[in-house]
Chain A
Amino acid sequence: MSQIAGQAPPAAAPRKRRRLGVSVVLCLAVLIPIVISAVFGSAIAPHDPALQDPTLGALAPNGTYWLGTDDLGRDIFSRLIAGAYTAVAGPLLVALGTTLTGTVIGLLAAYRGGWFDTVAMRGVDLMYALPAMLVLIIAVGVLGGGYYVAVVLLIFLTVPTNIRLVRSAALSQKEMAYVESARVMGLSPARIIGVHILPNVSPTVVTNFLLDFVGALVGLSGLSFLGLGVPAGTADWGLMLAENRAIMDLNPMAIVAPAALITLTATAATVLADAAYKRISQAGAQRD
């Protein structure tokens, strides 16, 4: 549609602020309370999430315990709030770690090419061949587990995807005349990569970040469910899911609520990633 695209906007039109879409608002409505819970944790919980009262047993939701209690008498709602910490902190670390290393290696591989590209990409191929979840379970099992061991391993296992995505986005930018002009001008490679290519692959980078978060959330919850992540007794959504299976018929909310939270958080972050990609790519050279 060159006829329409070719028409330039009127001369002095001020840049319009686009409104946030309904889906974005909904996602933020889910994510913001979760982040607040992660920051303040038990401080904002109605009860002490670790306080046991075996005399209560597993109660169904009621006026005091909004989502009921588990078989040790701990308040489910408070434990969900406290559990937001492991649901946000670990995935956030994984997302930061992978996006950072993935973006740097991906950009360098695309721009430099040659042996660096070959080594990076064959390394990526090798990593792709590894069954990630299996490696994770075995490694965490052998190393004695622990939440942060799992975080480090997840970073290592997710990086290849990021490298590949950033590299291909950067490769298509590298061919553009503006990059060649920058080379002809004698700008340093660091400047060309950082100032010219990076802003134009930012849609990919931002999306990677959010999707890595989602992947890590599901991965870490899965490990906790298997008993390989956080230590027993910690308030963690995945672990709650595993521990409360036995009281399913006494207090169904004890497993429905953490499962729903994992799903909601993951979905919200995914939808947000999609919206972020669309929004950022409208301003730059990378379009789909």
Chain B
Amino acid sequence: MTDLSTAPVSTATDLCVENLSIGLGSRPLVRDVSFTIKPGETICLVGESGSGKSLTARAIAGLLPAGLSATGSVRLDGRELIGRPERELRGLRGRRVSLLMQDPFTMLNPMLTAGATIAESLPRSLSRTAKRAEVLRRLAEVGITDPAAADRYPFQLSGGMCQRVAMAAALAKDPDLLIADEPTTALDASVQSEVLSLLMRLRDARGMSLLLITHDLRVAFSTCDRVLVMYAGSVVEEAPAAALAATPAHPYSAGLLTAMPSVHARRAKLVGIPGRVPSAADVAGRCVFEARCRHAVEECRTAAPPLVRIGEGHASACARYEDIRAVLNVAPPVENDTGVAAATTHEKAVAVVTGLGKDYRTRGLRKSATSTALHEVSLSIGAGESVGLVGESGSGKSTLARCLLGLTKPTRGTIAIDGVVQCVFQDPYTSLNPSHTIGFALREALTKRVPGSDPVDVRELLELVGLPSAYAERRPVALSGGERQRVAIARALAVNPALLICDEPVAALDVSVQAQVLELLRRVNRELGTSLLFITHDLAVVRQVTDRLVVLYKGRFVEEGPTGQVLDKPTHEYTQMLLNSVLFEGTESNA
């Protein structure tokens, strides 16, 4: 066996993965994944949570969590990596294969400066001054030209800056293959597109290969040559990015594309994929997607369909591809929303915010500082209206929501609310009390129902949000993220609020589930007449649900108008910048 770390290094690396399976004991988690990455090529693994995409990436880097084992073959330039001792793999990581992770804040050691983090991976033989110069050169390569940044700690840097530093550190040993696991998921949209284009530039300048892991098809389409769609531990479709966007060849990929909200048009109906992702162990010997597929027939249940080539670099694991290809890429109908808000007048306002401002005081050892989260903002929300509030992190959008909910006292201004306000928060995992059943939570909320409202019971509430009544007996731990968000919506509706404030309600959900929750919120607004204040950073999402849009930037409203109009013809430069950072969606809309 040759020692990999001293073996002659070719400049171009060829990664070949064959029948890679990962299991926890006898329980399979990933099954028979095969693909190759040629030098300079970018491959994207796309999948929702539970698809096994991150495990696949970790197996390639030899970093599987304890207890999991990989079988099959991962060859780097013809050398087998599976089964190599840790010592040899360590010599390989960083130098040949490097890994970039999702969360920029926890990825960097908080006790090390940005410069020290990068220097750690540089050759030890360099002198101190040479090392310093190299660090600065590396930082400049990732777009950080201020030398002072090298002496800053992660907490002094923004998320985007941290991600750049992490990228410089991952590239410090000049790897031939970079595996990036959701590198931009935790970043704001405008920063996301910057970091992605930086990643593309670095890939081209260095000629390295890139394996990108993402849940976001838009990220895949705007960066990759080839896309592998993973589902429940298996690859269900492999296709060139453009072909996948135009002609998906698997019902799951097609479903994902349909569920993806568009910033260019409002869908008449948001269709998700019903059900939930099964575990790889439960779908052995059959099509992994069969249980959620509306095209499924008997033969899908009796054997696992293999990945079959259907075109140039295009393969699908659908046994019925030939029968259903015609219906797979039907563009969902859109509805006109450019004039909606202007046409409907809302005589009665449920919430009127006048000159609202909020300062935060931070007390240090010697001095105290005041930062203003919200300057004087004024907003009126009509009865039955759906208002979108868009802004990036730190724009003050959550502060505004917390003021409206009475969770924070505003420093200035007034809030007048006619009726009751309820909320749906972002994180489905903390928004329900884990100690109580769903029924308990809903019954408790019903005790606070606005007097004079039509009486409802727990069963009706669950039905309203599309959950079976048996869920009343369950605890949150037995529910998926999307189901928990539905319960959170049901709990808010139990009070019969005049205004429902949704703070990033779908940001933590998978695309297929996201569509269902958005459709539910849209129905709440249209059919129950509950006003919505929908807070998000995602322009595509906000277009689907709201009539009127307010853009918040550094605590001030910079643009306001009918959602369709603002998104199609933005007037403020900040809105324009936000729209320019929206990634390619695959299908150009005809709206």
Contacts and interface: CB of A to CB of B under 8 A. Distances in A.
Interface of A: 1-4, 6-10, 176-178, 180-187, 195-196, 199-200, 283-285
Contact of A3 (B49, B427, B480): B49
B436 A3 contact: no
A181 B434 contact: no
Contact of A184 (B421, B436, B477, B480): B421
Given A3-B54, A185-B422, A187-B448, A196 B406 contact: no
Given A1-B65, A8-B479, A185-B422, A178 B495 contact: no
Contact of A185 (B49, B427, B480, B495): B495
A183 B448 CA distance: 12
6 contacts: A3-B54, A176-B430, A177-B430, A180-B423, A200-B434, A284-B434
A200 B492 CA distance: 22
B582 interface: no
A193 to B, nearest CB: 13
Contacts, number: 87
A185 B445 contact: yes
Interface in B523-560: none
A154 to B, nearest CB: 31
Contact of A285 (B405, B422, B434): B434
Contacts of B423: 180-181, 184
Interface string B429-447: 0111111100000001100
A196 to B, nearest CB: 5
A176 B49 CA distance: 23
Given A2-B49, A3-B54, A8 B480 contact: yes
B90 interface: no
A234 to B, nearest CB: 44
A246 to B, nearest CB: 55
A180 B407 contact: yes
A7 B475 CA distance: 15
B478 A185 contact: no
B448 A185 contact: yes
Given A184-B422, A284-B434, A6 B491 contact: no
B488 interface: yes
Contacts of A184: 405-407, 421-423
B425 A180 contact: yes
B50 A200 contact: no
Nearest to A179: B433
Contacts of A178: 430-433
A200 B427 contact: no
B407 A8 contact: no
A257 to B, nearest CB: 43
Interface string B45-68: 000011110110000000001000
